[in-house]
Amino acid sequence: MSEANSIQITLPDGSKRSAPAGTTSAEIALGIGKGLAKAAIGAKIDGVLVDLSRPLRADCSLEIVTLKSKDAPEIFRHTMTHIMAAAVKRLYPGTALGVGPVIDNGFYYDFGLPSAITEDDLDRISREMDKVIAEDAPVVREEYSHEAARALMEKEQEPLKVELIEGFADPTVSFYRMGNFVDMCRGPHLPRTGVLKNFKLLSVAGAYWKGDAKNRQLQRVYGTAFASREELQAHLDLVEEAKKRDHRKIGKEMDLFSFHLEGPGFPFFHAKGTTLYQTLLDFWRAEHRKRGYIEVTTPLVLNEQLWHRSGHWDNYKENMYFVDIEGEGYAIKPMNCPGHCLIYKNRAHSYRDLPIRMMEPGRVHRHELSGVMHGLFRVRTFAIDDAHIYCAPDQIQDEVLGVIELILSTYRTFGFSGFRIELSTRPAKRVGSDEMWDKAEAALSQALVLARERVKEHLGMELPEHAINPGDGAFYGPKIDFHIKDCIGRSWQCGTVQLDFSMPERFDLEFVGSDNSKHRPVMIHRAAFGSFERFLGILIEHYAGKFPLWLAPVQAIVMTVTSDQNEYGHQVGRALLESGVRVEEDLRNEKIGYKIREAQLARVPLMIVIGKAEAESRTLTVRFGSGRNVSDLTLEGFLEQVFRKHQLEVPQ
């Protein structure tokens, strides 16, 4: 083997191997051991996932990927989309293939089907997928020029793929072939179709081609796959549990909110839902006032010129709604930040005024396609738990640290314990100079490093190492995103901290420094919940509607066994209401068992049962949601021993 044709391969343990240029990862795995070669499903070359058959052309680092590797799902779920597409093409001739990416915990594929399918058809598709898997066909990568790729897809009668090819910039297009089926794809994939059998198709939904409502409507089939049957079953159990906790179902059972055809994507909060909303808002306001925030209110509709000035017109216009007022263009605000800049600019500021922390639970409107709206999680109007901090450059670290503490303290209040933190860097579509972005990204990175020690000292919490999410920052600045885990292990992106040097520049914001010169403040955008609507949806599913007593929209319900006790029952209800308890009365002529079942369905934490004995002794029997009963309580005893004891959960 000549030195000229030899390359150096660095393995994960630091050891090095020499091999001829053009050697594949599969061959390297075999050289390490037959067991590894048999278990291998892919490789990482210099950190990039590739097929086992990809030739190694230059010196590189190499990691062999097996089904036990953390990167394995990316490969085997990707292959499962092709197996599903092959099965659908067999069953439904004339199907046009869209796209089939891997998503969190699963995958999907968009199909232009000759006739609509339903979830009843998923078993049929699954059985055909089993046949494709049993054939154990090699999955082979092929590369074509644009012209040849277009000709291949025209021959395969794939108009959507032809459309995609026309938009590609790369000189070559890659395909993967397994048996008689071929699909355009970047890869990587499993070496054969028979490597993995543990999959489940989950649902069918509608989707517009390229996410544009003007385009053809396709059908999206969702599925999931795992390395082992046990992992798959555990995930399916989680999916079933999630269905039971679906906030749309629980919201209906608890009479919290509804959606109507007259306002798609615009939630209607009922009386109990409004109480829940306001209780969350009261908590939010109290936490912020303790930390020196001032509350402001800005208009819902503002002149179009403001949105040109802020950068939203060029970078966010497609998500906005517009109105005409006396011949002039106006926009319904999608964000609160430009309005806050106008408030800041309304008067002169000294360095002694800073930091200025403005908060506003401001209602915003953003255009969402009908196909992506989902309960309270994705709506067209919502209130951001918004705040903007205007500070001097030397105050950035302290302010960001304070925001991080506020966010983590908030999550702990609601029982969220697992966190994942990402630093999202500059996107391709952005405002501001590279120098501004360099400063902002460095400042947030340093703040996260300092936050670990401070959060541990002040909150007794361990802050995990943050990951870098390249290119996913806001158009005006980099951001820190907080992902929380609920009680069944699902991850939700909620809080965000965004550092902005650009908007103060665009609005010509100033403060007079200690040197009597004018300086530019830095703007920090931040939210803990993300939005009140979405966070409420998360809380409903986290608690399965069984809220802690301080948050429950109805904290107690008084129910009588017969109408003979109604007078006393009403007296108890009125006394509790005057004592600050959110209470309802159920004095209907219904059996007590029926009343209890209805209260349980409504997730009322405390049920006060009044029968003949209680009415005669002027006492109460309290039934908890768990089914435990406490008897012979006086009204004062209930307030002290039960209600106020459990109210200790409420943040002070």
Say what angle helices 72-91 and 122-135 make with each other, to 10 degrees.
110
pLDDT classification of 647: cutoffs 50, 70, 90? low
**Range in 142-156, 173-187, 361-375, 455-469 the model is least confident about:** 455-469
* Kind of pairing between the strands at 16-20 and 6-10: antiparallel
Query: Please, how many CA atoms are within 13 Å of residue 543, restricted to the half-sphere of its CB?
Result: 21
Q: Is 240 helix (H, G, I), strand (E, B) or coil?
A: helix
* Amino acid letter, residue 636: E
Instruction: In whole angstroms, give the CA distance from residue 518 to residue 371.
Output: 49
Task: Give the Cα-Cα-Cα angle 92, 160, 116 (nearest 5 degrees).
Answer: 35
What's the whole-number average pLDDT of the chain? 91
Tell me what pLDDT residue 4 has. Answer: 52
Instruction: In whole angstroms, give the CA distance from residue 561 to residue 564.
Output: 8
High-pLDDT (> 70) share of the chain, %: 98
Instruction: In whole angstroms, give the CA distance from residue 247 to residue 249.
Output: 5
* Amino acid letter, residue 457: E
| Average pLDDT over every residue of 574-602 | 94
From the list 88, 95, 93, 127, the residue with the least C-alpha distance to 112 is 95
The DSSP element (H or E) to which 382 belongs, if any, is strand 381-383
Instruction: In whole angstroms, give the CA distance from residue 317 to residue 33.
Output: 56
| Cβ neighbours of 467 (radius 10 Å) | 12
* Amino acid letter, residue 292: G
Q: Which backbone phi and psi does 206 adopt, to 5 degrees?
A: -90, 155
* Amino acid letter, residue 332: I
Instruction: In whole angstroms, give the CA distance from residue 123 to residue 116.
Output: 15
Q: Which two tokens stand for residue 131?
A: 């046949």
Query: Residue 316 to residues 88, 320, 366, 450, 499: CA-CA distances in angstroms?
Result: 37, 7, 10, 33, 18
pLDDT of 584 higher than 60? yes
Instruction: In whole angstroms, give the CA distance from residue 357 to residue 402.
Output: 11
pLDDT of 1 higher than 50? no
Instruction: In whole angstroms, give the CA distance from residue 427 to residue 466.
Output: 18
Q: Which two tokens stand for residue 441?
A: 């990204």
pLDDT of 641 higher than 90? no
- Asked if residue 253 lies in contact with residue 246, where contact means CB atoms within 8 angstroms, the answer is no
Alpha-carbon torsion angle 433, 434, 440, 442, nearest 10: -160
- Asked if residue 568 lies in contact with residue 615, where contact means CB atoms within 8 angstroms, the answer is yes
Instruction: In whole angstroms, give the CA distance from residue 110 to residue 204.
Output: 10
Q: Is 229 helix (H, G, I), strand (E, B) or coil?
A: helix
* Kind of pairing between the strands at 172-178 and 181-184: antiparallel
Tell me what pLDDT residue 16 has. Answer: 92
pLDDT classification of 485: cutoffs 50, 70, 90? confident
Instruction: In whole angstroms, give the CA distance from residue 552 to residue 184.
Output: 52
| Average pLDDT over every residue of 96-103 | 93
Residue of higher predicted confidence among 279 and 314: 279
Q: Which domains does the chain have, with CATH numbers?
A: 3-66 (3.10.20.30), 72-244 (3.30.980.10), 266-299+334-538 (3.30.930.10), 556-649 (3.40.50.800)
DSSP label at residue 321: E
Instruction: In whole angstroms, give the CA distance from residue 247 to residue 529.
Output: 16
Tell me what pLDDT residue 45 has. Answer: 95
pLDDT of 2 higher than 50? no
The DSSP element (H or E) to which 328 belongs, if any, is strand 328-332
**Of the segments 103-112, 410-419, 460-469, 482-491, which one has the largest average pLDDT value?**
103-112
Handedness of CA 455, 461, 464, 466 (dihedral sign): negative
pLDDT classification of 651: cutoffs 50, 70, 90? very low
| Cβ neighbours of 170 (radius 10 Å) | 9
DSSP label at residue 336: S
The DSSP element (H or E) to which 360 belongs, if any, is strand 356-360
| Average pLDDT over every residue of 328-346 | 95
Residue of higher predicted confidence among 38 and 213: 38
DSSP label at residue 138: B
| Cβ neighbours of 464 (radius 10 Å) | 10
The overall longest dimension of the chain from CA atoms, in Å, is 102
High-pLDDT (> 90) share of the chain, %: 73
DSSP label at residue 101: -
| Average pLDDT over every residue of 172-181 | 95
Tell me what pLDDT residue 457 has. Answer: 77
